[in-house]
Structure 1
């Protein structure tokens, strides 16, 4: 009726768009989505989680120590920052390990909530990585909602102010190997000076977590700055960065050494998914799966999750080899002759395609006859 006023209680709240779509699913699909959501969110713990926890908590210990114990806590009475570098191949599970550590962690309450007061923020390093892009990423992660891109000279002072205002003490930079991809010698030097400056700032020192692929280690080598003079500011900053950084490396899968963790993970996923994974009791199947996953723990469980999904969609309760073949084809778009779950010569197939990173150069070399990825079972 014209002129009728609507009270605030009568106005429907705008929910999350994904939530609105979920509410429209049928009962059967909704049940499957609910189950797979839990399966995909599961994390298998290993000894590397304890190593990561130890290194970050050493950093926390440094953050809480005062320069002068006789004086009260304050921004001018903190020790300079330190850094932890998490180094592993693509698919090892670096991001998942950090999320697992941060989940319900009393040191980092409300992580991910911009209004929750968490002292740690995560910044995704974009490619190309220059100082301006890194500054804008840090500024936005610190809660500053800017539609326009700031100049480099504006972004970093604003980021520093925002992090102090929000009482942020730790900054995690994901995909930090993209710093290495910066070919410009001047930009490299500026990034190094900025990272070191964040840790040694006299007003608000920060602690850094740098995670990335193995080539991230080049960031800490003298050759990264090439011809920088020993007494130059950038070389001194580089020495500061190296001296203050500790490393955590995630090793590839070793089926013998990691057997206990793999056994536990298989039981956990089978229970969560309500399926049988008895095929993974076989040594050859484990070797085949490890090879398909490029020997990375994260991908090992990702492929298992895809296989469970394929199995349940087919109305079965026992995961089969074909389910893994379907999952690999879905993930990589590889033809059947290059699918390690579909051929006998699986150990001769180059499975590194499963690790392909968005910024990696596209491989133009032929990898065999290209055809539409094939499902191993009929379309019935």
Structure 2
């Protein structure tokens, strides 16, 4: 553990010590509530199975008659996990990688996990992305260094530290300001991780659905008329795309109702009868039909119920009404937990679940 990490831990302990016993008790309950995970076969199982197959690439020999090592390793592939804002992409990756026995301590600074997660900077270009990866790897580099030197150091650092999985979260940030040439350069740099003969690395890329064309556009010709060496077929061969679907109003309310009841039970509360009919559909609609946001609003509602004086014994729609009002600042007329005809409310106008809700800015014409 570095000196900075140790100081950070001390600060957190001081913050905890400053809380009252009641505040600590509520915090403990909410930690247990948030630890409850809603796993679904078409999300968790598919993503975990895909990651398991990509992990196998890391230890696959090209020539079974020779020992596994540099020069006798298979190329790797990229897992591209896409979903709308609030779908739960980041937490899904954290859970899938952490649950794999080869990657204990994923996301814990100083643990030495073989997988590393990096937040794609915004705005982003090839140099900014490389510098951020180096910073997370504990090797900050001066911004004046050229792009080839930065990315050469990234590859060296990954191998030196024994990192075999690189997760780039919010990869859609590369689309905000990078021009066409920079996008091509980023794709080429990322592909180099997959085809390295000495130290191939599995890429896990999570972001909004807009990133899919980013990986499919490599067959466009260069500006001087030469054909790009990468083709759409090559990209699809090296990348596996998994889409986190949105919730469905007809099929998923019972699943969401069961999850809400389970979390309320952890907090020592009951739930009203028929919440799969009276509450869950409103919650799904309020969360823009995304599972991650649905769970966040439920967490907020449980927290408010815990803070009520006296503490609530039943998690009711009034707690969701207040949670949504606090989250969005909307009036009761725009609150789907208040109005009778809640299906007609356009919740996209009043609610943004997270920072990656920002629309991807179109690139200015003329930048080449």
Question: Matched residues in 2 for 1:42 and 1:327: separation?
Answer: 19
Distance 1:167 1:270, change over 3 A: same
1:326 matches 2:319: no
Aligned position for 1:44? 38
Q: How many residues matched?
A: 350
- Give CA-to-partner distance per residue, 1:195-247, whole Å, 9 cap, x none: 1111112231111111111111121333x775537995744276533321111
Q: Secondary structure at the match of 1:79?
A: coil
Q: Give the distance between the partners of 1:333 and 1:75, measured in 2 at CA.
A: 57
Report SS of the residue matched to 2:314. Answer: coil
Residue 185 (structure 1) aligned with residue 180 (structure 2): yes
Question: Structure 1 residues 248, 302: closer, same or farther in 2, change over 3 A?
Answer: same
Once the two structures are superposed, the pairs formed by residues 251-270 of structure 1 within 5 Å of their partners are: 251-258=245-252, 261-270=255-264
Q: Residues 263 and 286 of structure 1: is their aligned pair in 2 closer, same or farther, counting only changes over 3 Å? A: closer
Residues 198 and 359 (structure 1), Cα distance of their counterparts in 2 relative to 1, 3 Å cut: same
Match of 1:360 in 2: 358
- What is the Cα deviation at residue 333 of structure 1? 2.3
Which string of whole-angstrom CA distances, capped at 9 and with x for unpartnered residues, describes residues 21-75 of structure 1?
Answer: 1111111111111111221233211111000111000101111101122222212
Q: Report the CA distance shift for 1:341/1:261 in structure 2 as closer, same or farther (over 3 A).
A: closer
Q: Tell me by how many angstroms 1:334 deviates.
A: 2.2
Q: Give how far 1:267 is off.
A: 3.4
Q: What RMSD in Å do the two structures reach over aligned CA positions?
A: 2.7
User: What is the aligned counterpart of 2:128 among 127, 130, 133?
Assistant: 133
- Measured in 1, the distance between the counterparts of 2:227 and 2:157 equals 26
Give, in whole Å, the separation in 2 of the partners of 1:92 and 1:236: 31
Aligned partner of residue 300 in structure 2, secondary structure: helix
Q: Work out which of the residue numbers 143, 156, 161 in structure 2 matches 1:161.
A: 156
Aligned equivalent of 2:59, options 48, 60, 64:
64
Secondary structure at 1:86 match in 2: strand
The farther-off stretch of 350-359 and 89-98 is 350-359
Given the alignment, which residue of 273, 289, 293 partners 2:287?
Answer: 293
Q: CA deviation at 1:13?
A: 8.4
Contact 1:279–1:285 (CA under 8 A) maintained in structure 2: no
Which of 88, 104, 111 is the matching residue for 2:106?
111
Unaligned 5+ segments in structure 1 are 1-11, 363-380
**Deviations along 1:82-139, whole A, 9 cap, x unmatched?**
0111111111111111222233431212212344332211111111120011101221
Distance in 1 (CA, whole Å) between partners of 2:9 and 2:355 is: 33
Structure with higher Rg: it is 1
Closer, same or farther: CA 225–355 of 1 in aligned 2, 3 Å: farther
Deviations 1:274-306 (A, max 9, x none): 111225624142211110010111111111111
Of 132, 143, 149 in structure 2, the residue corresponding to residue 149 of structure 1 is 143
Matches within 5 A, 1:241-320: 241-258=235-252, 261-278=255-272, 281-314=275-308, 315-320=311-316
Taking structure 1 as the reference length, what is the TM-score of the superposition? 0.84
Partner residue of 1:33? 27
CA distance in 2, matches of 1:194, 1:107: 26
TM-score by length of 2: 0.87
